[in-house]
């Protein structure tokens, strides 16, 4: 009973299950993926492969393939990156304050492997008021019906 109450008050963050050294990540990720996922880089807006994607399906972490978002959570944002108004439940996302450029933003990371996804802002246009702004490079997309990754 007690733990249920705590769960309601504090969102649970799933435990990190994937631990790799930076050398190991370098071997499995492309240089671009490594830069964004592990060095917290940002792809140039309007260049990513998913910012205009409207197909139904599931978005997973490009580093460990944990499910993070579905197409139902995605909305058209003119910021140039894939944007979601919420994430899948179960603590899939880890949040951390980022003061890198002299102002405060909330960085979002994959809870399963600690890789950088993007940032979340409080200016979302939907009922949640949130805008999860994610690099396309940080995501894989699986179309609903065929279950194939869109490359
Ligand atoms: Zn991950």
Per the model's pLDDT, the better-predicted residue between 4 and 124 turns out to be: 124
| 3-state SS assignment for residue 43 | coil
Q: Where are the alpha helices (DSSP H) in the chain?
A: 2-9, 22-28, 31-39
Q: Return the domain boundaries, the chain.
A: 12-143
Kindly report the number of other CB atoms within 10 A of residue 79's CB atom.
Answer: 13
- Residue 14: the pLDDT is 79
d(CA 2, ligand 1 centre) in Å: 30
Q: Which two tokens stand for residue 126?
A: 């939907």
On the question of pLDDT at 12 being above 90, the answer is no
Handedness of CA 117, 119, 125, 130 (dihedral sign): positive
Question: β-pairing, 131-134 with 116-121?
Answer: antiparallel
Overall fold of domain 12-143: 2.170.150
d(CA 111, ligand 1 centre) in Å: 7
Confidence of residue 1 (pLDDT cuts 50, 70, 90): very low
d(CA 134, ligand 1 centre) in Å: 13
- Residue 7: the pLDDT is 45
On the question of pLDDT at 9 being above 90, the answer is no
Note the pLDDT tens digit of each residue in 61-115.
999 999 999 999 999 998 999 999 999 999 999 999 999 888 899 999 999 999 9
d(CA 71, ligand 1 centre) in Å: 18
* Catalytic annotation, residues: 133
Q: What b/e string do you get for 45-63 counting C-beta neighbours within 10 Å, with b at 16 or more?
A: eeebebbebeeebbbbbbb
Average pLDDT over every residue of 25-38:
97
Tell me, rounded to whole angstroms, the distance of Cα 21 from its chain centroid. 21
55/41 Cα distance (integer angstroms)? 26
């Amino acid at each position: 009973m007690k733990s249920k109450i705590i769960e309601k008050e504090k969102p649970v963050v799933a435990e990190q299950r994937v631990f790799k050294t930076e050398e190991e990540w370098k071997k499995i990720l492309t240089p671009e993926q490594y830069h964004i996922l592990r060095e917290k880089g940002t792809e140039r807006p309007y260049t990513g492969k998913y910012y205009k994607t409207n197909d139904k399906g599931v978005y997973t972490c490009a580093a460990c393939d944990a499910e993070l978002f579905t197409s139902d959570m995605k909305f058209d944002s003119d910021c140039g990156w894939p944007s979601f108004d919420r994430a899948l439940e179960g603590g899939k996302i880890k949040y951390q304050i980022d003061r890198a450029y002299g102002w405060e933003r909330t960085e979002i990371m994959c809870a399963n492997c600690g890789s950088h996804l993007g940032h979340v802002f409080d200016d979302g246009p939907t009922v949640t008021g949130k805008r999860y702004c994610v690099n396309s490079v940080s995501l894989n997309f699986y179309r609903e019906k065929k279950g194939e990754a869109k490359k």
